[in-house]
Amino acid sequence: MIKKDYTKRLEELREIIDYHNYRYYVLDNPDISDGEYDLLMRELMDLESEHPELVTPESPTQRVGAQPASTFPPMTHRISLLSLDNAMNIDELAAFHQRVVKWLGSETITYCCEPKFDGLAIELIYHKGILIQGGTRGDGFIGEDVTQNLRTLRSIPLKLMEHDPPGLLEVRGEIIMYKSAFDELNRERTAKGESLFANPRNAAAGSLRQLDSSITASRSLVFFAYGVSEYTAVGIESQFYILDKLKNFGFKINPEKKLCTGLEEVVDFVEHMSSIREKLPYEIDGVVVKIDNIRDQEKLGTKARAPRWVIAYKFPPSQATTKLLDIKVQVGRTGVLTPVAVLKPVKVGGVVVSRATLHNEDEIKRKDVRIGDTVLIQRAGDVIPEVVGPVVGKRSGDEMAFPMPQACPECGSPVVRDFDQAKKTTGVIWRCVNMSCPAIIKQGIAHFASKDALDIDGLGRKIIDQMVEKNLVQNVADIYGLRYEQVVRLDGFAEKSASNLLNSIAESKKVSLERFIYALGVPHVGFVKARDLAMRFGSLEAIMLSRFDDLITVEGIGREIAQSIVGFFSNQENLKVIEKLRLNNLNIQNPSRPVKNATKFTGKIFCFTGTLLSMTRAAAKAKVENFGGRVASSVSAKLDYLVVGSNPGSKYDAAQDLGVSIIDEEKFLQLTQG
């Protein structure tokens, strides 16, 4: 093959590989297998090895390989990469809008709204379509040149996908790390005994600023483009459509971007992003609101440190630092001891937090959390706040290590550490094995009476605490032996409320098998698994007598759950409680599926959004599946029905866009009854 032919094939291979990198790393939609990709890359590497004089800097093979740097040189931004003013609430966002209206003399303002990544701002410089330099924001005027590290990111094109690229293109964007990659990185560092990163932003920043680019290459960083330094480079006067142009060039852009006209639409978008924030695969800390028209942006100009035409609406922070005052141990319904951090109250994610989970003893040791530490805590959505780790630099030397108690803090019985049968090693869980422990009894009764279980209205935690402390009940079966004169003497009860509670207890005696199995609190058996067991075995007796080999044939039940079920129904104390429930005339209804309805929803796919009023989400799912249908977790064109409860989320908008049939809870109930 003559040199000209080699050159042509090399160009073809580079273009093909760049295209498939784009499909994989930018569009998340590959159209060849990993094996086929590897063959293309191998051919390119072999040709370049045979003809090193034909290797070019923008070749896909040149992303990693330079010697570690000793330091990062400065990079001056030709046009300042300024920071943004913030709006901390809707009133401040409205004030920004009113200023824009006044300055532009127009009541109709169109904004380009984009999620605000919690990452690291970067500028990339392309000369005639080739990446020549990239650096951090720095102080907005001078940053650090991290070109070699940026070249390792496959979401950054080394060569623009454009046959007639701009002579000079300066692309601005954000380096982030997906939540899943962050978790995996911290798992790896734990295994190596290395310190952990506090959050994905810190992990991304630390990974990009490695003097050895091969370390950066191993860290799964992603670049999202959000703008250009000069619109004239792309010839488009709309921020929204500049993003589309950047996508055509080969950059990853956020698909959640939206054009909004007026303040009301902006607020709707802000609320939408806030509602889906925790479900996104990456961290965001707000919404960036930009005037879409570039000419209007130029009219407003900039202040000393920030443009006047853009504002960042900031969500309440999901992390904060505070003082760890003490560590208490709670006992759960299965006897598990969980250490809980007692904190100096602090506002996180819009909620005042005074307690946070520490998970288990091993986690405390791994994070080196001590009583008296200043700690970083985080709260994601409705998840219980957790301690991320200590701020070691603020230690005074008076902090104390936490010793796990060797006796149950509730009953004083010895505690034992679980044994992991699969790994044949000691587990991480300490457990109280005294089934008469007051904490276990209280938690077990609360679970038994909960909405998805026996649904005993009026039997709350404070009442249960009184009943256990006054020795009126020692297990869930004792609930059905309560007498009026016992209940009416409890704090907060009068004649009517006592009668109402006893009536509710009596009404709960008729219960479906799946709810009863769930109510028993078998470890690892939630509502869905309880329903699966009920449908498979058909009766309580059959479940109690089921063998390990029978159980693992049930879909979704693995070895650990099967062992848990066998162990639960082999425990004599548990069997005594079940027998006592039967003697108290508990009427357990075995599942029945009328032939006329068994295939009613066959082939139909449902999805739920918002809060259902007449049933739990698990119960609604069970209804669909009992009629032969399937429940999806997300909206797609294949969906038959989206069932909408109160306060629906983003699924509602997605279903409207796709033309999916949207029904309310009442219509859903009609479908399941007709």
Active site residues: 116
CA distance 588 to 539: 9
* Short-list 43, 277, 48, 317, CA closest to 179: 277
10 Å CB burial of residue 142 (0-12, 13-18, 19+) is middle
CA distance 579 to 568: 14
Torsions phi, psi for 370 (to 5 deg): -130, 150
Q: What b/e readout covers 154-182, taking b as 16+ CB neighbours within 10 angstroms? A: bbbbbbbbbeebbeebbbbbbbbbbbebb
At 224, which amino acid appears? Answer: F
Task: Specify whether the backbone of 650 is left (phi greater than 0), alpha (psi in -120 to 50) or beta.
Answer: alpha
Residue ranges of alpha helices (H) inside 105-258 are 147-150, 179-191, 200-208, 213-217, 239-249
Give the list of residues 6+ apart from residue 628 with CB closer than 8 angstroms, or none: 598, 599, 600, 601, 602, 603, 604
CA distance 222 to 28: 12
CA distance 224 to 71: 26
**CA 405, 411, 415 angle in degrees (round to 5)?**
40
Residue holding tokens 């999202």? 224
52: helix, strand or coil: helix
Distance of CA 426 to the CA centre of its chain: 29
Give the list of residues 6+ apart from residue 119 with CB closer than 8 angstroms, or none: 174, 175, 176, 177, 200, 201, 204, 224, 282, 283
- 134: number of Cβ within 10 Å: 26
CA distance 457 to 449: 8
CA distance 514 to 521: 12
* Short-list 233, 202, 252, 240, CA closest to 378: 202
Torsions phi, psi for 204 (to 5 deg): -65, -45
CA distance 670 to 660: 19
Tokens of 305: 């440190």
Torsions phi, psi for 380 (to 5 deg): -115, 115
Concatenated DSSP letters for 424-447? TEEEEEEEE--TT-HHHHHHHHHH
Tokens of 633: 């977790």
CA distance 206 to 347: 27
Contact 472, 491 (CB under 8 A): no
- 377: number of Cβ within 10 Å: 23
